[in-house]
Structure 1
Amino acid sequence: FLDNKFRGFLIDDIDIDASNDIDHDLDTELGLLTMMNALTMDMISEIYRFYITLQFELAKAMSPCMIWIPNIHDLDVNEVNYLSFSLLVNYLS
């Protein structure tokens, strides 16, 4: 009265095939992660530019009578490029 088959699951029906490659899924996932890393590295410079522009816009909105220059204490007065400074002032105004 006992047979070799479980109810609802036939042992003979198990299909073990080499074409069901688990490594294919891992290769696909690795490719996606590599592509995402490359996109992230390409976008870093754009994010920095956006962040600096955002800082300037916030400074203009919060204090329209002041000019905010990051790291102003690190600037040497004798080495100031007046063209760059005037472009900065024009940008902020």
Structure 2
Amino acid sequence: MPEIRVAAAAAEDLRELILTHELPPDTPQRVAGRLSPLRRFPKLGPALDGRWAGTRYVLGPWSWLVIVYEYDASADVVTVLTMRDARRVDAPTSS
């Protein structure tokens, strides 16, 4: 089973979203729950392209929260790279 790591930048993204979006105190636990299926299915999320090529995403506990990750099969590690508001024009899933 892959190890799940959260990059420092992704952790900072989440801290910022908690503040700016007034998310509940249990947000980190909710996000962890959304990441847990990646232990069994590390390629669960759709692949991204463009500047995000080589990454995938899953939606967070809210449909607007995009969690971008990469899976290194040789190391068996899923690394969360960023967490973004999908409603923004610069969201990873936008064209």
TM bucket normalised to smaller: under 0.3
Scaled by the length of structure 2, the TM-score of the pair is 0.25
User: Which of 1 and 2 has greater Rg?
Assistant: 1
Higher strand share: 2
Higher helix share: 1
Structure with more relative contact order (C-alpha pairs < 8 Å, separation 6 or more) = 2
Scaled by the length of structure 1, the TM-score of the pair is 0.25
